Amino acid sequence: MGGDTALVLGGGGLTGIGWECGMLHGLARAGVDLSTADLVVGTSAGSVVGAQLTSGLLSVQELYERQLGDASAEPVAKLGAAVIARYAMAMARSRSDAAAYRRRVGAMALAADTGSEADRRKVLAARLVSHEWPERRLVVTAVDALTGELEAFERGSGSGLLDAVAASCAVPGVWPPVTVAGRRFIDGGIRSATNADLAAGYGRVVILAPISLGSALVPSPSVQADRLREAGARVLLITPSPAARKAIGRNVLDPARRAPAARAGLAQAEEHAAQAAALWSGGAA
């Protein structure tokens, strides 16, 4: 560990990317630049935002403005009822065994017909502004589809940044698992919407969580935030406001909702600016 501040960027689809970028820009406009974090943890949507944020090639304003472009040419995906039912079945069969749940979801993902892995990688390659690991510490989460184990990719782990982000964004049943060094990986959000526990040891932590829900097998952002607090960290957890949830809509994978989500994040940032400033400057959130 190096430094004291950590920024955790959770999963939440294309709308999650938009909302997080809006939130980051809004907080920066209020004087709280979270891009200075000593550690950035990115899960799924958060891995995309984290990779862009730490690249040093985009300001938070530019990152926000990228979310406002025309999305009409982008394909619309959806977590359909059948896929959600498979998640629920895997959870029911796994009972209290979280690793077993992740293995069952991994098996479902490996068996699903979700298109070409190569094509999906091209989409993520175009989305990133750099394919090189940043100097600042960035951790990207994914789950091994066979073992259900968490993989925390970072600089020096032997895997490329594009590999890590593509793996972290491999939503089971929607996108194909991603092959990295001969292993198959699925979305890090299958373990946790934020994987905020990876910020353990850092004194000041801000968590942006587009998805606030959890379960007995998938700890919620609030549960993970409380555990960090119990360990002595000062933590600010931010989730979408009612207005932001309305802007996000029901399908987080719809490109048309990304811009409204970004604007909602920008507007919501004002509500949290004072708390964020107090924490980031060393006070209590």
Out of 44, 94, 192, 222, which one is annotated catalytic?
44
**Residues 163, 187, 197, 254: which is the catalytic one?**
187
Strand 183-187 and strand 178-180: the pairing is: antiparallel
- Please name the residues in contact with 156: beta carbons below 8 A apart, sequence gap of 6 or more: 133
The closest alpha carbon to 219, from 239, 196, 253, belongs to 196
According to DSSP, the residues that pair with 140 across neighbouring strands are: 42, 153
212 is catalytic: no
The pTM of the full predicted model, rounded to 2 decimals, is 0.96
Torsions phi, psi for 104 (to 5 deg) = -65, -40
Residue-by-residue pLDDT tens, the chain, 285 positions: 557 999 999 999 999 999 999 999 999 999 999 999 999 999 999 999 999 999 999 999 999 999 998 888 888 888 888 899 999 999 999 989 999 999 999 999 999 999 999 999 999 999 999 999 999 999 999 999 999 999 999 999 999 999 999 999 999 999 999 999 999 999 999 999 999 999 999 999 999 999 999 999 999 999 999 999 999 999 999 999 999 999 999 999 999 999 999 999 999 999 999 999 999 988 555
97 catalytic per annotation: no
Helix (H, G, I), strand (E, B), or coil: what is residue 46? helix
**What is the per-residue pLDDT across 120-165, written as a single tens digit (0 to 9) for each?**
999 999 999 999 999 999 999 999 999 999 999 999 999 999 999 9
On the 0-12 / 13-18 / 19+ scale of CB atoms within 10 A, 212 is middle
Cα 206 from Cα 109, distance rounded (Å): 31
Residue 252: CB partners within 8 Å, gap ≥ 6?
A: 12, 13, 14, 15, 16, 79, 210, 211
